Structure 1
Amino acid sequence: MPTVPAAALPDRWFRTTPDSALLPGPRLLARSLIHVSVLDERIRSYERLTGTPADLRMPIPDFGGLELAAVGNMLLIASARPFTDIQRRTAYSVIVPSLDGALGRLDQVGATVLEPPERILPGARARVRFPDGAIAELVEHRPNPGEQPRPPELRRSGRPGARLLLRKAVSRSMFASLVRLYETALGLDRDTRLQADAPDGIELATVGNLLVVGTDGPEFTRASDVRLALVASTPRDIPGARPLGAPAGHRLVRLEDGSVAEVWDSAAGFHETPAASPRGTTGTGAA
């Protein structure tokens, strides 16, 4: 991979974990493509929604003036320029402990490398297509010269935040195989598996930050734009959300940035894990 010239860090550059080799496993992030003029507003919106502060912000001038920020499991990707087709079609960003290790796992499941590894200011990246068709950008973070970890700024919130998950719905016949695919691809074991009380017998599993929904009911599979799920102790009191309906005992909401999310009550039994747990000895992807 070609080297990237050293660059002075902008004042607003910070990462809580500059070296992703220290992560216990991959960090799967949803993506929201926005204009750079609304980045600060969107950061505040997701901080209110999740009850957690931003832990990453990176202006990346060598990629067409992009600026990125992460809040919980959401990656905000801001630009003053139009986004490319491949940027818009990329479903996930994944911060990995080791890019070589992550690509090795994905090779085991038959993933396709769309863009080979290259050096970038945060570390290194590659773009791949998973066997289920989802496109993901993998990023390995490494500290820049002189960069130190910066803890996120603590902010008080008057209400508990919602847990934001990435959501993928499939037919029940494909549910178990898709869970296995993402367990292998991410090097993680599922931490939740539930049977929801609904007429169509919904099955649910979480693999890291991904919620897999297995159902043959049209109310769960008809909306291809429902890429997010919210798990909350008070699901009818979510900041900035507008109700869109209430199918089968829960509901869909539209968030402030226009994204649609499926809302679940945490009483259903979802496990809250502080960090992704590695699967066996392969979770760190150490090369």
Structure 2
Amino acid sequence: MRTLATLARLYVDDMDRALPTLRSLTGQETRMRFHHGGVEVASIGGFLVVAGSDEALAPFRQVQSTVLVDDLDGLPELLDAHGGELLSGPNHVPTGRNAIVRHPGGVVFEYVEHSA
């Protein structure tokens, strides 16, 4: 499993109000934008923006970062080598597949493998 990119997660209450500042900051346009699990998600620059009410965001806030990988099937090997707990997944999501893992020390990552 090879890491392709890491995305800092930003939790916001209004996507349309958050994106103009991020466009200016990154000099980039939104790469994708979709609704999933009661929230709206957008990717811009090195950020994954998750928007919704406090209630809608609550289940997502434990995840500290998103790691894009080439092959999610390599996750068990990573967990065997370094420890960790699979909290969710692999799941089918609008962009491909994901899994949520709590690693030793408490950091929680979402791993995502995009579909072709």
Q: TM-score, normalised by structure 2?
A: 0.83
Find 1:46's aligned residue among 22, 26, 34.
22
Q: How far, CA to CA, are the matches of 2:7 and 2:102 in structure 1? A: 16
**Structure 2 alignment gaps of length 5 or more:** none
> 1:26/1:107 Cα in 2 relative to 1: closer, same or farther (>3 Å)?
farther
Q: Counterparts in 2 of 1:35-184, with a 5 A limit?
A: 35=13, 38-60=14-36, 63-64=37-38, 66-80=39-53, 82=55, 83-84=57-58, 86-143=59-116
Shift of 1:106: 3.6
Percent identical among aligned pairs is 31
Shift of 1:132: 2.5
Give aligned pairs, total: 114
Shift of 1:26: 2.7
The aligned amino acid for 1:114 is L
- Given that 1:111 and 1:128 are in contact with CA atoms closer than 8 Å, whether structure 2 keeps it comes out as yes
Is the counterpart of residue 25 in structure 1 residue 3 in structure 2? Answer: yes
Query: Larger % of strand: which?
Result: 2
Q: How far, CA to CA, are the matches of 1:102 and 1:78 in structure 2? A: 27
> 1:42/1:126 Cα in 2 relative to 1: closer, same or farther (>3 Å)?
same
> 1:117/1:55 Cα in 2 relative to 1: closer, same or farther (>3 Å)?
same
The aligned amino acid for 1:57 is R
The higher-RCO structure (CA 8 Å, 6+ apart) is 2
In angstroms, what is the RMSD of aligned CA positions?
A: 2.0
Shift of 1:58: 2.1
Shift of 1:73: 1.1
Shift of 1:44: 1.4
Q: TM-score, normalised by structure 1?
A: 0.37
Shift of 1:56: 2.0
Aligned to 1:118, the other structure's residue is in SS state strand
Which entry has the higher C-alpha Rg, 1 or 2? 1
Q: Give the ranges of 4+ consecutive aligned residues of structure 1 lying more than 3 Å apart after TM superposition.
A: none
